[in-house]
Amino acid sequence: MNLLHYLKYFLFHVIGLMSVVALVTGGHYITLGLVTTLIIYMLGDGLSGDDTSTPRFKHPGILTVQLWMALPLLLLIVFASVWSVSSGDPLGFGQLVQHWTGYDALAAREATALGHHVSAIVLTGLMIGMIGTIPAHELTHRTWDPVSMFVGRWMLAFSFDTIFSIEHVYGHHRYVSSIDDPATAPRGRNVYHHILASTIKGNVSAWNIEKKRLKRKGQALFSWHNAVIRGHLMSLMLVVAAAFMGGWPAVLYFVLCALWGKALLEIVNYMEHYGMVRNPAVPVQPRHSWNTNKRISSWAMFNLTRHSHHHAQGEVPYQDLRPFPDAPMMISGYLTTILVAMVPPLWHRLMTPKVLDWDRNYASAEERLLAAQANARSGIPALMNATANTKTTTVTA
């Protein structure tokens, strides 16, 4: 096995550590760190092409430990970020930095302008999404592994989203690309509407799933057995920690970072399944997710990009996911597509042709009828001649 295939997934950790350095050095370095992160993902995806390799890993345990390592890294990032707006020096962190490096981080923090603090919120929320939610997504699929579940749920707590470990695994994967799935955006919906709608409906769905589970086990709904309640208490503990670090300003700052991290998850949900249709009684196929094989996104996001295979076979670990180059493809890599989604007119201009192409070339006969109904509801022009004689392209796992 080529060592590069193991090392490439450590790009994720390099970006996280780079963010810590930017947050600690303060001032314009924070904004520079944010811009550099965007450039790495967007320009890297644009220039480096696709990664369609499917290596066999002889030591998958290394890749699991690598995922676990995301939790202390995320804790360090968020600690450094909240420290950057605290009036004191929690844990003597600034003095330790000066002792180890000679850099006066406390003076740099005091000189940081408001605009750079805004950049810090954007950067920290981005890291909560990438360093927290993405590995947590992989770990919380491993429901048989208590260590992975523990680590994954704590990472989700940083975005107030531990319910993801319930709704995503037991709800989203069952109902994906159907009208019963809160995370699947119907045609014509803008991303800001989706962030709110998916968050609210996702929490309701997780509560109902957990309610049914507790009822089957004969356990009380309002008790420590309720994973939804426990998860929200985990997030509350982080808010309390921020309060101890810097009082109410630190609490407000952390909440903004966490909510931005949560919003990023919903933006990703939006672009992964936008406009897809499926009868929930029909098995999920690779055609029911938008896919991308952009190299930097794949390496730094643990193959989340290979979403078509992930939904067709949710139990497959990230390193074994296949690229499915014939699956329906996103606009570009993840960060580029996120930015496009945040500009609704541009998103609909680029995605409507892709959705209509999906209707013609990927949908089953039943899905073409569902698509025609979705087009009518959304205002997307109906396809001419109902594409009844168009050959269906089916990608199977």
Query: Residue 386 pLDDT > 50, yes or no?
Result: no
243-247 mean pLDDT: 97
pTM score over 0.85: yes
- Both tokens of 27, joined, read 């001032």
The string of pLDDT tens digits covering residues 27-75 is 999 999 999 999 999 999 999 999 999 999 999 999 999 999 999 999 9
Residue-wise burial string across 25-36, b where 16 or more C-beta atoms lie within 10 A, e elsewhere: bbeebbbebbeb
Instruction: Answer whether 333's CB lies under 8 Å from 47's CB.
Output: no
Tell me the pLDDT band of 5, cut-offs 50, 70 and 90. Answer: confident
The answer for residues whose C-beta is within 8 angstroms of residue 231's C-beta and 6 or more apart is 153, 156, 157, 162, 163, 165
Query: Residue 336 pLDDT > 90, yes or no?
Result: yes
The pLDDT score that the predictor gives to residue 382 is 46
Instruction: Answer whether 186's CB lies under 8 Å from 377's CB.
Output: yes
Nearest to 133 by CA among 302, 279, 270: 302
To 10 degrees, what angle do helices 114-127 and 70-83 make?
Answer: 170
